[in-house]
Structure 1
Amino acid sequence: MYPILRKILAIVIGWLAGSAVNMGLVQLGHTMYPVEGLDPNDLEAMAEIMPTLSSEHFIFPFLAHAMGTLVGATIAGLIAQQNKMRFAMIVGVLFLLGGIMINYMIPGPTWFTIADLLIAYIPMAYLGGTIAKKLSKKSV
């Protein structure tokens, strides 16, 4: 496979896999902690209701962001032949940009925004890159 194609695929597949994990956990959270009369796909309604939600409603969004980033970064690192950490971190930055955007569009409590942006993205991408490096060494 052409090296540049593999690099592009590492980022795209990592991002897509992480996004699937993210969406799955968000949907699971809406199932486990439903808000009566709220359509989770209505961003305006979500933005209005956010200040009234208890902390339990923020467990799954945080897990979705953290686990989506971790899975995506790990997969990107595993696909990349070299510079595994770099590709894991690229995926982490993509997810961080998405996290900044969603926290702007649907502002949650300050504590959640801080925890989400500081813990769920770059540290998880670093952990994913570390896992990819270790798994790659075992398979050689």
Structure 2
Amino acid sequence: MKSILRNILAVLIGIVVGGFVNITIITYSGSIIPPPEGTDMTTTEGLIAAADLLQPIHYLMPFLAHALGAFVGALIAGLIAATHKMTFALSIGLVFLIGGIMMVLSVPSPTWFIVVDLVLAYIPMAYFAGKMTTNKA
């Protein structure tokens, strides 16, 4: 019973911490790479209105937020999980992938970004984190 509780906590804490990493990067991304002049990137409506003004550099921080959020969440889940560490790490990647799919359905993005984000940011980062928790040094 102890391992079941620990595995459930691994998933919950992984999602919360990974989500915190994601939202923190998104929150501060505008101060690192300023958005186009006169745009409001804090709302879905503002993102939709600014879509045509965004340059490829503006997609760097969202990609990093998604990739690092999935990575950190999966790493935390893998470190906490009592058993099946890779499975729990990948489950975090899957949760974040579902969130990414929901995001690309609600906010317009160039096709190249959608492909790069969905293919490289979630499952590969969760797999890498899972490998880090299962490899014995």
- Taking structure 1 as the reference length, the TM-score comes to 0.91
Once the two structures are superposed, residues 59-98 of structure 1 have per-residue CA deviations (whole angstroms, 9 ceiling, x without a partner) of 0000000011000001100000110000000000000000
Q: CA deviation at 1:27?
A: 1.7
Q: Which amino acid aligns with 2:7?
A: K
Tell me the residue number matched to 1:119.
120
Cα contact 1:51–1:109 (8 A) shared by 2: no
Matched residues in 1 for 2:100 and 2:90: separation?
Answer: 15
Cα contact 2:90–2:123 (8 A) shared by 1: yes
Q: CA deviation at 1:51?
A: 2.7
Tell me how many residue pairs correspond in the alignment. 136
Once the two structures are superposed, residues 22-68 of structure 1 have per-residue CA deviations (whole angstroms, 9 ceiling, x without a partner) of 11111221112232333332101202212320011000000000011
Matched residues in 2 for 1:66 and 1:111: separation?
Answer: 16
Tell me the residue number matched to 1:128.
129
Tell me the residue number matched to 1:43.
44
Tell me the residue number matched to 2:60.
59
Q: Which amino acid aligns with 2:24?
A: G
Cα contact 1:70–1:125 (8 A) shared by 2: yes
- Taking structure 2 as the reference length, the TM-score comes to 0.93
Tell me the residue number matched to 1:85.
86
Calculate the aligned-residue CA RMSD, in Å: 1.4
Gaps of 5+ in 1: none
Gaps of 5+ in 2: none
Q: CA deviation at 1:7?
A: 1.2
Q: CA deviation at 1:8?
A: 1.1
Matched residues in 2 for 1:85 and 1:72: separation?
Answer: 12
Instruction: State percent identity of aligned pairs.
Output: 46
